[in-house]
Amino acid sequence: MQVKALACELPADTGLPRSRFRRQDLAWEVIGRGIVAQISGATIWRWLDQDAIRPWQHRSWIFPRDPQFEQKAERVLDLYQGGWQDKALGSDEYVISADEKTSIQARVRIHPTEPTQAGQSMRVEFEYQRGGALAYLAAWDVRRAKIFGCCDPTTGIAPFDGLVAQVMGQKPYRQAKRVFWIVDNGSSHRGQAACQRLQRQYSNLGLVHLPVHASWLNQVEIYFSVVQRKVLTPNDFPSLDAVAQRLMEVQSYYEQIAQPFEWKFTRVELQELVAKLKDPPACALAA
């Protein structure tokens, strides 16, 4: 129990000049403290593995600071489930998930990329010249699996409003009863001012803001991850125009094969997550 409690402490809080514990660090420390006379790192690992404690690993995260995190997230999750304010959405109501993917570079490699060969993977030159960067704005129709997008030199109110016009200017959104736009808190669509601005242009449009630092609840991010993995990695483009052309081509291709995302994170999972964040870690109790 003492070894496990020590493993759940931050090394800096124990006075050790470490950023994280390795198993051998823990072995030296427990011996130095007189907890045991002798112990190996393998034994330490075996004990910690019983409770899936891995102090040698770490991951970055952002603690939810929005005081209305749960309420805002629930609204978005209800829309994904086809509801709004305890009522089912009608056939003439739509849900759009939108965001910007910023600073997409055109990396002009100083040597041509070599294709895959027998016994050799694709070879991409490490050195490159910078060919500029652009922003890719996209809107994903959650229920119909339709993708809309455009490229712009930068983000801002004008580019985002251009994306909105691209969607809202065509059927069925133009005549729809309501079109919900799920967005994060970026400067081009932040707060009540953005709601009022877009409402003046489109009376049937409603902005639904995610909680702060909750882009993982925005479905368009799933599409962006596909683009990053399958289109932009490795990054090897002769020009910025080639980047924009590729993005538009993959957008057209993806829409032909797309299906609505099977979104499984619901209110129940959200409540469990919030409860977990409020409870102190088990290791802290043990300590």
Would you write out the chain's pLDDT as a tens digit for each of its 287 residues?
A: 999 999 999 998 888 888 999 999 999 999 999 999 999 999 999 999 999 999 999 888 777 788 899 999 999 999 999 999 999 999 999 999 999 999 999 999 999 999 999 999 999 999 999 999 999 999 999 999 999 999 999 999 999 999 999 999 999 999 999 999 999 999 999 999 999 999 999 999 999 999 998 999 999 999 999 999 999 999 999 999 999 999 999 999 999 999 999 999 999 999 998 888 776 554 443 43
The per-residue pLDDT for 285 is: 38
- Count, in order, helices (H) and strands (E) of the chain: 10, 7
Would residue 263 count as lying in a domain? yes
The per-residue pLDDT for 63 is: 77
Residue 20: what residue type?
R
Would residue 101 count as lying in a domain? yes
The per-residue pLDDT for 284 is: 41
The per-residue pLDDT for 276 is: 81
Would residue 278 count as lying in a domain? no
The per-residue pLDDT for 249 is: 97
Q: What's the rounded Cα separation, in Å, for the pair 4 and 17?
A: 19
* Maximal C-alpha separation, the chain: 77
Closest residue by Cα to residue 134 from 19, 10, 254, 244: 244
How far does the chain reach from its first CA to its final CA, in angstroms?
Answer: 8
Whether residues 56 and 75 fall in one domain: no
- Number of domains the chain is built from: 2
Would residue 166 count as lying in a domain? yes
The per-residue pLDDT for 273 is: 85
The per-residue pLDDT for 280 is: 53
What's the domain range around 38?
A: 2-60
Number of C-beta neighbours around residue 229 at 10 A: 9
Of 19, 43, 60, at which residue does a domain stop? 60
CA distance readout (Å), 46 to 21, 52, 192: 15, 10, 54
Taken in order 239, 242, 244, 250, is the CA torsion positive or negative? negative
The per-residue pLDDT for 243 is: 97
Whether residues 176 and 262 fall in one domain: yes
Beta strands in 142-241 (DSSP E): 146-152, 178-183, 205-209
The per-residue pLDDT for 67 is: 87
Would residue 119 count as lying in a domain? no
Whether residues 53 and 98 fall in one domain: no
Whether residues 150 and 232 fall in one domain: yes
The per-residue pLDDT for 286 is: 40
Can you state the angle between helices 69-80 and 267-278, rounded to 10 degrees? 160
The per-residue pLDDT for 251 is: 96
Whether residues 147 and 45 fall in one domain: no
Q: Are strands 93-109 and 128-141 parallel, antiparallel or unpaired?
A: antiparallel
Would residue 90 count as lying in a domain? yes
Q: Which two tokens stand for residue 185?
A: 């808190």
Whether residues 52 and 139 fall in one domain: no
Whether residues 86 and 203 fall in one domain: yes
